Amino acid sequence: MADDDARSSDEPAEHPLVRHVSRPDGVEVLTLDHPRVNALCGDLLDQLETLVTEMARRPLSEGPRAVVITGGPKLFAAGADITEFAERGGAAPFALSDADAVARLGRAFLDALNAVAALPCPTIAAVNGVALGGGCELALACDFRVASTGARFAQPEILLGIIPGGGGTQRLARLVGPSRAKDLVFTGRMLDAAEALEMGLVDQVVEGDAEPAAIERAASFAAGPRHALAIAKRAIDEGLEGSLADGLRREQEHFVASFDTDDAHIGVASFLEHGPGRARFS
């Protein structure tokens, strides 16, 4: 998964559902580890949110320069743990949970995936095998998606008589457009990696394990200007929340702010002295 000289973060006594490795190049790798299909249960979502929130709370100069999220070499995530939406016991073991229980799990999805989306650094999902339902939504919460040729994507919630609740009606529509999003959400159909690439759901398709390619892409970002990247990500994401005029105003504010960083001093000085593209950022 990671280079031999990568160090693992301290793990709790119990089996962690999200494994965390920090690499010396500034890339941090989060691997879902919930056998057998990486179902996104409440505990896994809580652990993911805790890890990501801790990363975001560090000073920017000490935080991750890029983050890769993967489910391992066989699959990404098969979606929510559907058993958590059922009573599981008593006279009606297959009855739906009450609205409060559903809302709690929905909130866990919202909080964890919003925390991933809000990380102030580039994030890349490395998708092997299936990314279904909540698994697809987790990939959508990342900035980029690298998929193996065998990857499969779907928002199949409609086949259960429900709708996506982790961003599948919102992030998906913003990424591929409303018509294609409605097709995927209304039908629940499966996409292979080639179709996902064609419609813009994924950014790169590779033979074999997607993780090395995702790490290579992340490492290229990690070598860049971390403050400028964080500001650029914020400007793009905030601009999508409002009108074009509002976005352009926010861009100007962030543009001015970017000059008050070490990155700007390093980059402009390097350009003036050595020409473009030769700056080395700390």
Strands across the sheet with 7-8, in order? 7-8, 18-22, 27-32, 66-70, 123-127, 144-148, 204-206
Under 8 Å between Cβ of 105 and 66: no
d(CA 111, CA 117): 10
60 token code pair: 């920017």
Instruction: Just list the catalytic residues.
Output: 80, 134, 137, 157
Q: Calculate the dihedral angle through the C-alpha atoms of 83, 88, 91, 92, rounding to the nearest 10 degrees.
A: -10
Under 8 Å between Cβ of 17 and 34: yes
